[in-house]
């Protein structure tokens, strides 16, 4: 053993560990709670944004002469 490991082993074995339990405490709870609240509002916002998206139904696409959606560019083969 090197001098450092011998010294570390001797001090670790001879010293008693503190009897106080160590846990996340109040700060850990508050951090997890804040992440949960932020996640709730993010999912709520995502659902609101997803509901704004207009997806055409297949029945609407099969109709001849249906109006093109704004911003769509026709392809060379005539499909959308």
CA 57, CA 55: separation in Å to the nearest integer?
6
* Rounded distance between C-alpha atoms, residue 18 and residue 39, angstroms: 37
Q: Flag whether the pTM goes above 0.85.
A: no
Percent residues over pLDDT 70 in the chain:
57
Q: What is the mean pLDDT of residues 6-30?
A: 74
Per-residue pLDDT tens digits for 32-68: 999 999 999 999 999 999 999 998 888 888 777 655 5
Q: In whole angstroms, what separates CA 8 from the centre of its chain?
A: 42
Distance CA 80, CA 75 (A): 6
Structural domain boundaries in the chain: 24-50
CA distance 8 to 2: 10
Indicate the pLDDT class of residue 8, thresholds 50, 70 and 90.
low
Query: Tokens standing for 13?
Result: 């074995």
């Amino acid at each position: 053993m090197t001098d450092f490991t011998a010294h570390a082993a001797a001090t670790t074995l001879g010293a008693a560990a503190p009897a106080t339990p160590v846990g996340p405490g109040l700060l850990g709870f508050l951090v997890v709670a804040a992440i949960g609240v932020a996640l709730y509002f993010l999912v709520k916002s995502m659902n609101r944004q997803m509901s704004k998206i207009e997806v055409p139904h297949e029945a609407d696409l099969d109709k001849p002469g249906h109006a093109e959606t704004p911003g769509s560019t026709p392809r060379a083969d005539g499909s959308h």
